């Protein structure tokens, strides 16, 4: 039952996170590793191990991971935890009918989560996710024991806490326009995680890059094809211009 409760809280948290107030903290810029196959493969591993227990990616099939350099056998051996066929969709471990019966709603699908969050002057959906997953801190006043600076009072527990460890924000008081304001100065590491802070940031960057890729797997191909088409049109325009000049050179 404890696992079920955490599943519900995770679902509520991610839904809440997607609706976060745009007036909150500034978002850090997410690294762009959409062309780094090693990063995308590591992100896929993190997604399957830490996200797919509660959240589906119903519009993505496991065999599509071959586009980031994995073979069918590698997918079967390392990533198939919720099904036995590589052609199946990425479905959450939790039964959606039971989730709806127990909680009144299914956990949100994450297939296009990286494209669904943006705000003017703040950043992209990837920036939000990168900041969100790196802004958890211990808060004993919350039912889950966790809170998040990117989305205060978030209901989702820190799914990656074993990797990052437990942290607490450190504030400093500054005076702005005659008023005292508490600003984030840094973080205090309360207990270590299995990763150093730099390694954790790297891992989150890989996970967010994978979420970006999953939201639009054909993006890089589309960009390459579009570049080729534009180059072709430029060349054809040049040849057409020179051919037109040759046809009309003797006309007065």
| Residue-wise pLDDT tens digits, 40-71 | 999 999 999 999 988 889 999 999 999 999 99
Least confident of 75-84, 111-120, 221-230, 231-240: 111-120
Q: What is the per-residue pLDDT for 4?
A: 41
Q: What is the per-residue pLDDT for 69?
A: 94
Q: What is the per-residue pLDDT for 107?
A: 75
2 pLDDT tier (thresholds 50, 70, 90): very low
6 pLDDT tier (thresholds 50, 70, 90): very low
Least confident of 41-45, 65-69, 121-125, 162-166: 121-125
**Spatial distance between the Cα atoms of 219 and 174, rounded to a whole number of angstroms:** 44
Q: What is the per-residue pLDDT for 168?
A: 95
**Spatial distance between the Cα atoms of 27 and 124, rounded to a whole number of angstroms:** 9
Q: What is the per-residue pLDDT for 153?
A: 87
Contact status, residue 189 vs residue 165, Cβ threshold 8 Å? yes
Contact status, residue 171 vs residue 182, Cβ threshold 8 Å? yes
Contact status, residue 5 vs residue 151, Cβ threshold 8 Å? no
Is the pLDDT at 12 greater than 50? The verdict is no
Q: What is the per-residue pLDDT for 54?
A: 82
217 pLDDT tier (thresholds 50, 70, 90): very high
Instruction: For residues 86-92, give the mean pLDDT.
Output: 90
Instruction: For residues 205-234, give the mean pLDDT.
Output: 93
Contact status, residue 196 vs residue 220, Cβ threshold 8 Å? no
* Angle (nearest 5°) at CA 163 between 112 and 184: 80
**Spatial distance between the Cα atoms of 177 and 172, rounded to a whole number of angstroms:** 16
Sorted by sequence, the CB contacts under 8 Å of residue 211 that are 6+ apart come out as: 43, 47, 110, 113, 114, 126, 129
User: Which pTM value belongs to this model?
Assistant: 0.79
252 pLDDT tier (thresholds 50, 70, 90): low
Q: What is the per-residue pLDDT for 121?
A: 55
What single string gives the DSSP state of each residue in the chain? -HHHHHHHHHHHHHHHHHT--TTSSPPPPPP--TT-HHHHHHHHHHHHHHTTTT--EEEEEGGGGGGGT--HHHHHHHT-SS-S-TTSEE--SS-HHHHHHHHSSPPPP-TTGGGS--BTTTB-HHHHHHHHTT-EEE-TTSTTSEEESSSTT--S--TTHHHHEEEEEEEEEEEETTEEEEEEEEEEEEEE-SS-HHHHHHHHHHHHHHHHHHH-TTHHHHHHHHHHHHHHHHHHHHHHHHHHHHHTTT--
1 pLDDT tier (thresholds 50, 70, 90): very low
Length of the chain: 252
Q: Cα Rg for the chain, rounded, in angstroms?
A: 23
Instruction: For residues 85-112, give the mean pLDDT.
Output: 79
Q: What is the per-residue pLDDT for 155?
A: 79
Instruction: For residues 224-243, give the mean pLDDT.
Output: 93
Q: What is the per-residue pLDDT for 9?
A: 45
């Amino acid at each position: 039952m404890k696992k079920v409760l955490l599943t519900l809280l995770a679902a509520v948290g991610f839904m809440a996170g997607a609706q976060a107030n745009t007036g909150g903290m500034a978002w850090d810029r997410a690294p762009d590793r959409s062309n780094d196959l090693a990063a995308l493969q590591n992100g896929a591993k993190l997604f399957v191990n830490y996200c797919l227990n509660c959240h589906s990616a119903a519009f993505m099939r496991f065999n599509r991971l071959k586009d980031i350099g994995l073979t069918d056998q590698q997918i079967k051996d390392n990533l198939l935890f919720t099904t036995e066929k590589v052609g199946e969709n990425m479905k959450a471990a939790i039964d959606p009918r039971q989730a709806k019966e127990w909680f009144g709603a299914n956990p949100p699908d994450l297939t296009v989560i990286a494209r669904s969050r943006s705000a003017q002057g703040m950043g992209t959906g990837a920036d939000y996710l990168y900041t969100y997953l790196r802004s958890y801190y211990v808060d004993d006043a919350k039912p889950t024991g966790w809170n998040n600076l990117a989305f205060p009072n978030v209901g989702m527990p820190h799914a990656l806490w074993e990797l990052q460890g437990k942290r607490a924000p450190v504030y400093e008081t500054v005076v702005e326009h005659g008023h005292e304001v508490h600003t984030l100065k840094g973080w205090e590491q309360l207990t270590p995680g299995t990763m150093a802070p730099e390694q954790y940031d790297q891992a989150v960057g890989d996970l967010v890059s994978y979420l970006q890729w999953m939201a639009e797997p054909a993006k890089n191909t589309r960009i390459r094809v579009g570049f080729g088409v534009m180059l072709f049109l430029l060349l054809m325009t040049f040849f057409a211009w020179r051919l037109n000049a040759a046809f009309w050179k003797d006309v007065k």
